[in-house]
Amino acid sequence: MLIYSQMKIKDESVPATFVRVLFSPYLRRTGLCCIASIFYNFFLKQYKAALFPGRIPVTSVDHPLDEKIPFMPGKVKIYLDFVAFWVRTIGFLLRHCKRKAYKEVRDFIRSMGELYAFAASIYGRNFSTTNRPFYIKNLRFLLIHMVDPHLMCVPSLHAMVVILTYTSFKKIIKEMGEEERFKEQADELYRGAIAITEAILYVKQHSVNCVPAALYAMTSFDHSLFPIEAAEAFTHDIFAKVKNPSKEEVKNIHEHIVSLYKRFLSEYDNEKSDSDWKKPLLNFLKEFN
């Protein structure tokens, strides 16, 4: 008998999950569309901007609070796990729920592809960057510098991806009536999402300004998955169990994230038919120019 509390999503095989999806007639097309969206909206658009600069404005979005967060190269492994994080989640659902989860998994894969396009609608109007150290003592950082031109900071796709993953997993197990069975895995994903969000700040891939933009984008993307209360709770768990930054600095970071998140929400009135969720972020980026 399986003891599900001992089953870890982190133990799932990423290559095996890709094979399982691509060899499934039901999931293959959605999986390929998702991969195409990721490459087009993240890699192709960035490289095009890097090779042909000046066509789209690039804004630096650093904040003084970034200096309170130490550069911790050792966190790079956690940061780079953000893709495997959601792929393993798919693998876990397919392995333990089998065909019962096929529709939900397909919807999740589709939403991941849509998320990249959603965020890219900001990048296509205004790229953003931060003061990222050129650190290559670790080969993982060399990989980052080689494949990521670092032009897509607001909103943080890294944070958006992990938030979509843990919230979608919670929704899926609830719809299947498996909340109690997979409670430990839901908690595992939430902790992982927090750890990756912390890591993007520790390795200076993002500024504290990028996080509230990501939270706001996620609430705009699917309010039922990530309402205001969830965004505030998520914020207050960032750096909640660390020694550095200090408690006082963490308090200031939390206040800044929540304040900026609420500002974006207040500027976007989704009750108005002509309201555009992008405007608060684009207006924010203009303030740095």
Query: Per-residue pLDDT for 175 more than 70?
Result: yes
CB contact set of 189 (below 8 Å; sequence gap of 6+): 9, 85, 89, 165, 166, 169
**In the chain, pLDDT over 70 holds for what percent of residues?**
96
Please give the backbone phi and psi of residue 179, each rounded to the nearest 5 degrees, phi first: -60, -45
Beta bridge partners of 59: 128
Number of alpha carbons in the 13 Å side-chain half-sphere of residue 286: 7
Question: How many angstroms separate the CA atoms of 141 and 143, rounded?
Answer: 5
Query: Per-residue pLDDT for 271 more than 60?
Result: no
Mean pLDDT in the chain?
94
Query: Per-residue pLDDT for 272 more than 60?
Result: no
**Virtual torsion, Cα 137, 143, 144, 148, nearest 10 deg:** 150
Q: Is 61 left (phi over 0), alpha (psi -120 to 50) or beta?
A: alpha
Question: How many angstroms separate the CA atoms of 171 and 186, rounded?
Answer: 10
**End-to-end CA separation in angstroms for the chain:** 60
Strands (E), the chain: 58-60, 127-129
Domains of the chain by residue range: 41-286
CA angle 56, 57, 60 (to 5 degrees): 140
pLDDT at 5: 60
Question: How many angstroms separate the CA atoms of 114 and 126, rounded?
Answer: 19
pLDDT digits (tens, 9 = 90+) for 48-106: 888 888 889 999 999 999 999 999 999 999 999 999 999 999 999 999 999 999 999 99
Question: How many angstroms separate the CA atoms of 4 and 147, rounded?
Answer: 37
pLDDT digits (tens, 9 = 90+) for 278-289: 999 999 999 997
* Residue range 2-26: mean pLDDT, rounded: 89
- In terms of DSSP H, where are the helices of 98-156? 102-123, 139-147
Confidence grade of residue 139 (pLDDT, cut at 50, 70, 90): confident
Confidence grade of residue 1 (pLDDT, cut at 50, 70, 90): very low
Amino acid at 254: H
Confidence grade of residue 186 (pLDDT, cut at 50, 70, 90): very high
**Helix (H), strand (E) at residue 128:** strand 127-129
Confidence grade of residue 182 (pLDDT, cut at 50, 70, 90): very high
**Helix (H), strand (E) at residue 271:** none
Query: Per-residue pLDDT for 270 more than 60?
Result: no
* Residue range 155-181: mean pLDDT, rounded: 97
pLDDT at 274: 58
Q: Could you tell me which of 214, 222, 197 has the C-alpha nearest to residue 284?
A: 214
pLDDT digits (tens, 9 = 90+) for 205-242: 999 999 999 999 999 999 999 999 999 999 999 999 99
Handedness of CA 196, 122, 34, 26 (dihedral sign): positive
Q: Give the pair of three-digit tokens for residue 199.
A: 């890591």
Question: How many angstroms separate the CA atoms of 289 and 274, rounded?
Answer: 26
